[in-house]
Structure formats: C-alpha cells, structure tokens
C-alpha cells in the first residue's frame, strides 16, 4: 500500500462490528511494477458507511489479464 486517503462520514463506537471493503477501479504501470487503484470503505454491521476513500497498492510484474480484468 503506497497511498491511502479517507474521510470519516459517520461515527463508529466501541463494540461495533466493522467491515472493510476495497474495489479495484483501475490498474496503471509504475516503472517495472504496476499500481492497483482502489475505492475503499468501512461499514458498520447495520450497513451504514463510516469511512470512504481511495488507495493505491503497488505490485511487481504484469497486471492480471483475461475476462473481467
């Protein structure tokens, strides 16, 4: 993970069960590596999002190819 930005949109409280999610929104070259662009969120058990944001993860080699990639 080389970058993470987020915004708190609702509170989370001690004892809350939280679920983190990330969706790959794109892939771009970065020198001899590639970067995955991600939309990230954290939600409480009631489905309310507590945080939203973006992230960039760097990985070596070629990006995945094939159907849906």
> What's the confidence (pLDDT) of residue 67?
64
The 3-class SS string of 16-36 reads: CCEEEEEEEEEEEEECCEEEE
Cα-Cα end-to-end distance for the chain: 20
The mean predicted confidence, pLDDT, of the chain is 91
> What's the confidence (pLDDT) of residue 6?
95
Instruction: Give mean pLDDT, residues 50-57.
Output: 97
> What's the confidence (pLDDT) of residue 5?
98
**How many other β-carbons are positioned within 10 Å of the β-carbon of residue 30?**
12
Encoded tokens for 8: 């708190």
CA–CA gap between residue 20 and residue 51 (Å, rounded): 9
- Give pTM, 2 decimals: 0.79
> What's the confidence (pLDDT) of residue 66?
60
């Amino acid at each position: 993970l080389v970058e993470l930005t987020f915004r708190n949109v609702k509170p989370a409280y001690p004892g809350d069960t939280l679920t983190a999610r990330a969706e790959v929104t794109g892939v771009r070259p970065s020198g001899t590596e590639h970067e995955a662009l991600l939309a990230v969120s954290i939600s409480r058990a009631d489905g309310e999002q507590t945080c939203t944001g973006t992230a960039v993860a760097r990985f070596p080699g070629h990006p995945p190819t094939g159907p849906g990639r």
